[in-house]
Amino acid sequence: MLPKRDTSTIGTILGLIVVVIAVGGSVLFDWEWGAFPNQPVPLAIGAIAAIAAVLITIRRNT
């Protein structure tokens, strides 16, 4: 039996915001996602998104 599909609005919105920031940063600011010493902003955005995803997952499973 398949589990019920997740329809989290906050997760979807958070994901869309991260995608827009990632694409916009790459196009407008020439961010490179593997260049931490020179460009810490992409890493910070990714870390914040990952932490938010973990917190949302924990909150939903408790």
4 belongs to a structural domain: no
The Cα–Cα gap between 30 and 26 comes to 5
26 belongs to a structural domain: yes
Q: Domain range for residue 27?
A: 9-60
3 belongs to a structural domain: no
What is residue 62's three-state secondary structure? coil
The one-digit pLDDT tens for each residue of the chain (62 residues) are: 556 666 667 777 877 888 888 888 888 888 776 666 777 777 787 788 888 878 877 887 77
What is residue 61's three-state secondary structure? coil
36 neighbors 43 (Cβ within 8 angstroms): yes
- What pLDDT does residue 34 have? 66
SS in 3 state form for 1-47?
CCCCCCCCHHHHHHHHHHHHHHHHHHHHHCCCCCCCCCCHHHHHHHH
